Amino acid sequence: PGLWPRVYMDMGDNDRERDFNLQVERLLTQLGVPHEWRLNNGAHDEAYWSAHVSEYLRWYAAGWDQP
């Protein structure tokens, strides 16, 4: 577990990169790479990012207290 970087992935269900993102998530799962994965409503646009930026910041900030 300490050998892997922390990985957070999310996307909107209307994201133009949906197929690629799903392939990456499946690969991480198959390889046993720990990761946080979220599928939300939305597209690959500023409205989506703005709606979720607080989640990103909380998740990344939580990792600062880990060695």
Is pLDDT at 1 greater than 90 in this prediction? no
Q: 4-58, pLDDT tens digit by residue?
A: 888 999 999 999 999 999 999 999 999 999 999 999 999 999 999 999 999 999 9
> What b-and-e string marks burial along 4-32, b requiring 16 or more CB atoms within 10 Å of the CB?
eeeeeebbbeebeeeeebeebbeebeeee
- Does some domain include residue 2? no
* Residue where the block lists tokens 């499946």: 26
- Does some domain include residue 35? yes
CA 53 to mean position of chain CA atoms: 12
Q: The domain containing residue 41 runs over which residues? A: 8-65
- Does some domain include residue 40? yes
Q: Is the pTM of this model over 0.85?
A: no
- Does some domain include residue 1? no
pLDDT bin (cut points 50, 70, 90) of residue 66 is: low
- Does some domain include residue 49? yes
Per the model's pLDDT, the better-predicted residue between 24 and 67 turns out to be 24
The count of domains in the chain is 1
| CA-based nearest residue to 35, from 63, 67, 65 | 63
Is pLDDT at 65 greater than 80 in this prediction? no
